[in-house]
Structure 1
Amino acid sequence: MTLGTYQTPVRQHQKILGSVLCVDDDPVVQLMLGDIVRIAGGDYHKADCARTAEDMLGQSRFDLILLDRKLPDSDGLLLLRTIKQSSDCPVIVLTSMNEDHDKILGLGLGAEEYVTKPFSPGELSSRVRSLLVQRLEKQRQTHLDPISLGRLFFQAGTRLLRVDTAEVYLPPAESRLLHAFLLEPGVPQSRDGLTRYVCGRDWTAGDRTVDVLVARLRRRIPPGTAKIVTIHRFGYVLNRVG
C-alpha cells in the first residue's frame, strides 16, 4: 500500500489511552497518522518540524511520539536524542531510510520502534496501541510507589499526604491532581492534560474544575514546602521551595 491510495478508515469512539505527538512535514502522512492514532486510542497532536516539536514538548507531556527522520529543519534522530536525554517517552521512528545501519542507529539512540515507509496503517495502529497500553500500565504502577519532594511525602495508592509529621488523606480528585504534579515537578502542565488525568475528559473553555482543585490543593501544602504556580493561559507547574 502507498500513501497515494490511502483511504480514511472509520473512526471509532473509545477511551483515550494517551497523548501522541506526530512529527512529520507531509500533510498526507499527517492525515493518515491522525486516523491511526485515534483508532489506536490516542489523542492526536501534530508538528511539521523539529523546532515546533521541541516547543510542544517543552509545554506539554506526551505518552508517545511518532517521528519522521527527514524533517525540513533537522534529522529526526537529532530530535530523538534530545527527547531521550530528558524523557522516557517512547518514540516510533517513521522513515524511508531503511538501511540496516540507519535502523541500528535509530534503535541505538533509544527509539522503541523503527518503521519504514510505506507502512501498513493497521500494523502501525496496533504498535501505537500496544505502546500506549504499556505506558498506561507503567503509570498505574507508579500509584503504588511513594513520592517525595523535599519535606512533602505522598502515597497515591492510599491518597496520604504527609508534610513533616502532619498527615491528611486527600479526596480522590485532589489526589490525582497532586500525583500528576509530583510525577513531573517543575514541568508545566496544561489545563487540558490535567483535566484528562484528573477527570478523564478533555478540557473545554469555561471548565473551572482543575482551577478549583488547584485552589484546594494550595491550602493543603504549607508555605516553604512546594508551590503551585499559575502559567497564564496554559495551566500550572509545581515547584519545590527551599
Structure 2
Amino acid sequence: MRVLIVEDSSEVVETLRPVLLQDGHEVAVADNGRAGLDLVSSFRPEVVLLDVVLPEIDGLEVCRRVRGSSDAHIIMLTSKDHEVDRVVGLSIGADDYVTKPFYPREVSARINAVGRRARAPMADSASRERVFGDLQIDPDARRVTVAGEEVVLTKTEFDLLDTITARPKVVHTREMLREGVWGSDWFGDDHVVDVHIGNLRKKIDKAGGSSRIATVRGVGFRLAGG
C-alpha cells in the first residue's frame, strides 16, 4: 500500500519507515501539514499516518482537508494526554488513532488490517440493496441514501452501517464490531467504535432520516426496528 507519514519528528519517522518498507509498503514522508497536503495530491496514498501537532497547518486541519478530497484511511498519531484531539480527529473523518509512544509493529498491524478491509468486502454483506424505511444501503456501490438523498460516509462509517444492517435483528457488541470492521488484530478500544457510531447517527439525522442505530445498554448496537 502507499503510506504517507505526515510527522515532524525525524525520530518517529525513522522508527516507522524501515518497518513499513520491510512489510512491502511504499512510503512517502512530509514534515509539515502543507507538504502533507501536497503529497496527498501527488502521491495519492491509501493510508495517511497523521500527527496532530504539525508546523504550518495542524494535523486536524490537514485531516479535514484530506477527507474532503480523498478516501484514504487516516490514522492520527496523538499524544497520550490529548484526548480532545483524538475525539475531534475521529469526528472530522479520521478512521483510527495511535497514542504515542507506540510500537512500530502496532502501527504496521493497523495498516495491514485496513489493507484487508480495502481489498475484500465484508463477509456478511448481501449483494442486493437493503431498505429500512427511508434509509437505503447499496453494499456493492458503497452508497447510502436517505429519502433519495445521498449521505457521504467515511469508509469506517460505511463499514459499521454495512455490518449492522447486514444482520439487522442481531445485537452487535462492540467486540463484534471491532473484529468485523477493524479486524481481529486491531489494538484500539471501544471508544473509537462509539465515536464513529455517533458520527454515523448525526449524518443520517442531518439528512432527514430517523436515528436507525439503537443502543442496547450494556451490550452494543442494533438496527432500530430490526
After TM superposition, the score normalised by the length of structure 2 is 0.50
Percent identical among aligned pairs is: 36
2-structure distance, mates of 1:70, 1:55:
18
SS at match of 2:76: strand
Residues 3-54 of structure 1: per-residue CA shift (max 9 Å, x gap): xxxxxxxxxxxxxxx1000001111111112023224431111111111111
Q: Which amino acid is the alignment partner of residue 67 of structure 1?
A: L
Question: In 2 relative to 1, CA 28–112 (structure 1 residues): closer, same or farther, beyond 3 Å?
Answer: same
Question: In 2 relative to 1, CA 106–35 (structure 1 residues): closer, same or farther, beyond 3 Å?
Answer: same
* Equivalent residue for 1:76, pick from 46, 59, 73: 59
Which residue does 1:15 correspond to in 2?
Answer: none
Which residue does 1:33 correspond to in 2?
Answer: 16
Aligned residues: 122
Q: Are residue 133 (structure 1) and residue 119 (structure 2) matched? A: no
Deviation for aligned residue 1:97: 5.2
Question: In 2 relative to 1, CA 41–98 (structure 1 residues): closer, same or farther, beyond 3 Å?
Answer: farther
Shifted more, 96-105 versus 54-63: the winner is 96-105
* Equivalent residue for 2:78, pick from 87, 95, 98: 95
8 Å contact kept, 1:42–1:129: no
Larger radius of gyration: 1
SS at match of 2:97: strand
Q: Which amino acid is the alignment partner of residue 112 of structure 1?
A: D
SS at match of 2:26: strand
Residues 141-183 of structure 1: per-residue CA shift (max 9 Å, x gap): xxxxxxxxxxxxxxxxxxxxxxxxxxxxxxxxxxxxxxxxxxx
SS at match of 1:74: coil
8 Å contact kept, 1:94–1:116: yes
Which residue does 1:193 correspond to in 2?
Answer: none
2-structure distance, mates of 1:45, 1:23:
9
2-structure distance, mates of 1:30, 1:100:
23
8 Å contact kept, 2:33–2:62: yes
8 Å contact kept, 1:20–1:44: yes
Which residue does 1:207 correspond to in 2?
Answer: none
Deviation for aligned residue 1:101: 2.3
8 Å contact kept, 1:39–1:125: no
8 Å contact kept, 1:91–1:112: yes
Which residue does 2:195 correspond to in 1?
Answer: none
After TM superposition, the score normalised by the length of structure 1 is 0.47
2-structure distance, mates of 1:126, 1:85:
26
Which residue does 2:99 correspond to in 1?
Answer: 116
Deviation for aligned residue 1:90: 0.5
Which residue does 1:67 correspond to in 2?
Answer: 50
2-structure distance, mates of 1:113, 1:39:
22
2-structure distance, mates of 1:103, 1:69:
9
Unaligned stretches of 5+ in structure 2? 122-226
8 Å contact kept, 1:36–1:124: no
Which residue does 1:168 correspond to in 2?
Answer: none
Unaligned stretches of 5+ in structure 1? 1-17, 139-242
2-structure distance, mates of 1:122, 1:59:
27
* Equivalent residue for 1:44, pick from 24, 27, 32: 27
